[in-house]
């Protein structure tokens, strides 16, 4: 009667033994492998940086430097013999027939100043109009070539006219040494009351003029010539005013020592007005039709460099290319006009 109970007890122990072995670290190779661990939960996308969403699509433009008008350094004077310029035709006080005026040929005698295209040259001015550069001072120049856009009939009317010539470096800075300036008054049709007294203080505007493109627009020369006057603090001085794009308040400069030119930098595309006045100690204009001159210039940084600039050939941006010629310098000019000494 006790066998059934013994068998059941044995069977229960046999079933419990494998479980006990597994629980104690044993293993049964006949059992299936355990299921793989569950995959990790999917990673959530990082929240976008709030600062990044506020950034513009393109970086901000760099700040624009406003235009400036500052004094530059004067180029060294040429080596001896110093250059001299004389106007040999027309002669002083010559009367030219009205019907001959347009074709009248201006002649110069230039010594001590070698000229070449794109390099040193001579500025020739009629009646305070924008100058014509002469790269060959022996080539004939008619009066009608000096009047710009005006018609010959309007610009070469009866009465007094004045020619001015002086040497210029390759960068168009004038040479301001003794004997370099020539001033000649003459008449067309008949003698009449003089409109210009060439023996009184006289300012002769030179630069800037015309259109400036590409690199030429980056550093614009402001230069003028003087006759019969010496600038000084508290005395006569030249007042320059510039207006145009990017200039909220007009740029001004008072030049009380003649010699070093001014320069315009950081000009923007567009038209600028440059006004120069010869003023007395009281700040009032010095009498004379040339002593207040206004020019408009155009700036285009985006345009390619041109072979023609301001109505004439482009020149190197800087340097004194005026090599003195072998001929001896003359100490007089054709107009008996005293050039202002360089101080």
Q: Show the domains of the chain with their CATH numbers.
A: 68-313 (2.60.40.10)
Report the largest interatomic distance among the alpha carbons of the chain, rounded to a whole angstrom.
168
pLDDT for res 34: 66
| Global pTM value | 0.75
Higher-confidence residue of 32 and 112: namely 112
Stated length of the chain: 343
Residues sharing a CB contact under 8 Å with residue 131, sequence separation 6 or more, in sequence order: 123, 124, 125, 206, 209
pLDDT of residue 91: 98
**pLDDT tens track for 22-53:** 444 444 445 556 666 766 666 555 555 555 55
Give the pLDDT confidence score for residue 146 in this predicted structure: 96
Element (H, E) at 187: strand 182-188
State pLDDT tens for residues 145-192.
999 877 777 889 999 999 999 999 999 999 999 999 999 999 999 999
Burial class (CB in 10 A: 0-12, 13-18, 19+), 152: middle
Q: Does residue 326 surpass a pLDDT of 70?
A: no
CA 211 to chain centre: 10
Interval 82-94: pLDDT, tens: 999 999 999 999 9
Is the model's pLDDT at 337 over the cut of 60? no
pLDDT at 328: 31
What percent of the chain is modeled with pLDDT above 90? 67
pLDDT band at 269 (very low <50, low <70, confident <90, very high): very high
Give me the pLDDT at residue 339, please: 57
More confident residue, 328 or 122: 122
pLDDT at 274: 98
Q: What is the mean pLDDT of the chain?
A: 82
Contact residues for 237 (Cβ-Cβ < 8 A; gap 6+): 231, 254, 255, 256, 278, 279
């Amino acid at each position: 009667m006790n066998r059934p109970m013994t068998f059941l007890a044995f069977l229960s122990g046999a079933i419990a033994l494998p479980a006990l072995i597994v629980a104690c670290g044993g293993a049964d190779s006949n059992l299936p492998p355990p299921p793989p661990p569950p995959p990790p939960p999917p990673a959530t996308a990082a929240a976008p940086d709030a600062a990044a969403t506020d950034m513009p699509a393109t970086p901000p433009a760099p700040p624009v430097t406003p235009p400036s008008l500052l004094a530059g350094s004067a180029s060294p004077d040429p080596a001896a013999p110093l250059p001299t310029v004389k106007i040999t035709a027309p002669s002083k006080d010559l009367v030219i027939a009205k019907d001959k005026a347009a074709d009248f040929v201006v002649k110069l005698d230039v010594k001590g100043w070698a000229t070449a295209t794109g390099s040193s040259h001579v500025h020739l001015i009629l009646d305070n109009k924008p100058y014509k550069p002469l790269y060959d001072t022996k080539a004939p120049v008619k009066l009608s070539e000096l009047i710009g856009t005006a018609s010959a009939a309007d610009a070469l009317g009866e009465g007094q006219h004045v020619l001015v010539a002086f040497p210029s470096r390759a960068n168009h800075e004038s040479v301001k040494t003794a004997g370099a300036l020539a001033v000649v008054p003459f008449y067309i049709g008949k003698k009449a009351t003089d409109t210009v007294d060439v023996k009184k203080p006289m300012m002769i505007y030179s630069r800037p003029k015309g259109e400036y493109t590409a690199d030429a627009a980056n550093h614009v020369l402001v230069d003028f010539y003087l006759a019969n006057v010496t600038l000084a603090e508290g005395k006569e001085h030249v007042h320059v005013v510039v207006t145009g794009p990017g200039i909220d308040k007009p740029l001004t400069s008072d030049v009380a020592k003649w010699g070093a030119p001014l320069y315009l930098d950081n000009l923007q595309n567009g038209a600028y007005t440059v006004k120069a006045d010869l003023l007395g100690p009281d700040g009032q204009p010095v009498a004379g039709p040339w002593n207040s001159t206004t020019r408009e210039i155009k700036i285009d940084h985006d345009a390619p460099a041109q072979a023609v600039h301001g109505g004439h050939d482009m020149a190197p941006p800087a340097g004194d290319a005026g090599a003195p010629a072998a001929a001896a310098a003359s100490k007089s000019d054709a107009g008996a006009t005293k050039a202002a000494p360089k101080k």
